[in-house]
């Protein structure tokens, strides 16, 4: 083997050893995002894991007023709670081509079980917005599965909206996954009663 061949082999080994751990760590929450568009309607499907119990994960999702700590959500206020229905007023901000887009909405959350949370917009700036969250056990803690469909009322071309959604969603859901472990479980949470 020539000295040149040895150098190439060593460089390749060094790159492999340095690069493989970086790739393995680049997605620590097994984040998987799919955003598609049919006509004016967007479909968002997301999965990620967090190192918490499924009950703690559900507690994070149902801490409605804490949602303001998630990037893009400016405010989140519980308006009413009746049985398993919770009415929440939210203001979100998205930046598209340096243009701030504010979305006001009143969402009705239905706490189906301690593993499923459905939501639908009953009033707001979007033409429609609905979806759900499902929490399930995972070897790394809890798996979050999110599905949402929405249609915006905007003059911004939809291909531009889709481009910015696709490029900002990963960072937002990564931050959300990292935030899950930091939330405190409320005293009346099902986690406290049935850990």
Give the count of beta carbons closer than 10 Å to the beta carbon of residue 143. Answer: 19
CATH class of 31-193: alpha beta
User: In this model, does residue 70 exceed pLDDT 60?
Assistant: yes
What per-residue confidence (pLDDT) applies to 183?
63
What per-residue confidence (pLDDT) applies to 194?
45
Question: Which of 67-76, 106-115, 178-187 reaches the highest mean pLDDT?
Answer: 106-115
Average pLDDT score over residue span 106-132: 95
Residue with more model confidence, 15 or 79: 79
Q: Which token pair is 6?
A: 């040895």
User: In this model, does residue 113 exceed pLDDT 60?
Assistant: yes
Question: Which of 22-26, 69-73, 78-82, 179-183 reaches the highest mean pLDDT?
Answer: 78-82
Q: How far apart are CA 179 and CA 181, in angstroms?
A: 6
CA torsion 144-145-150-154 (nearest 10°) is 50
pLDDT category at 26 given cuts 50, 70, 90 is low
Average pLDDT score over residue span 161-182: 81
Closest by CA to 177, choosing from 86, 14, 87, 57, is: 57
User: In this model, does residue 17 exceed pLDDT 50?
Assistant: no
What per-residue confidence (pLDDT) applies to 117?
97
Residue with more model confidence, 79 or 20: 79
Q: Lowest mean pLDDT: which of 63-77, 147-161, 177-191? A: 177-191
Average pLDDT score over residue span 65-77: 89
pLDDT category at 191 given cuts 50, 70, 90 is low
Backbone angles phi, psi at 37, to 5 degrees: -135, 135
């Amino acid at each position: 083997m020539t000295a040149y061949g040895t150098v190439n082999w060593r460089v390749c080994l060094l790159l492999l050893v340095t690069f493989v751990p970086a790739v393995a760590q680049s997605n620590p929450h097994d984040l998987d995002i799919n955003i598609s568009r049919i006509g004016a309607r967007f479909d968002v499907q997301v999965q990620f894991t967090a190192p918490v119990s499924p009950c703690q994960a559900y507690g994070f999702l149902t801490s409605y007023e804490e949602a303001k700590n998630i990037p893009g959500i400016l405010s989140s206020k519980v308006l009413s709670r009746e049985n398993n229905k919770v009415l929440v007023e939210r203001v979100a901000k998205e930046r598209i081509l340096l243009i701030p887009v504010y979305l006001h909405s009143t969402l009705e959350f239905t706490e189906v079980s301690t593993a499923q949370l459905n939501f639908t917009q009953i009033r707001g700036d979007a033409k429609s917005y609905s979806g759900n969250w499902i929490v399930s056990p995972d070897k790394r803690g809890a798996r979050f599965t999110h599905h949402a469909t929405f249609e915006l009322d905007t003059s911004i071309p939809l291909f531009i909206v889709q481009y910015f959604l696709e490029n900002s969603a990963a960072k937002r859901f990564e931050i959300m996954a990292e935030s899950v472990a930091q939330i405190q479980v409320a005293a009346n949470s099902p986690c406290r009663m049935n850990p």
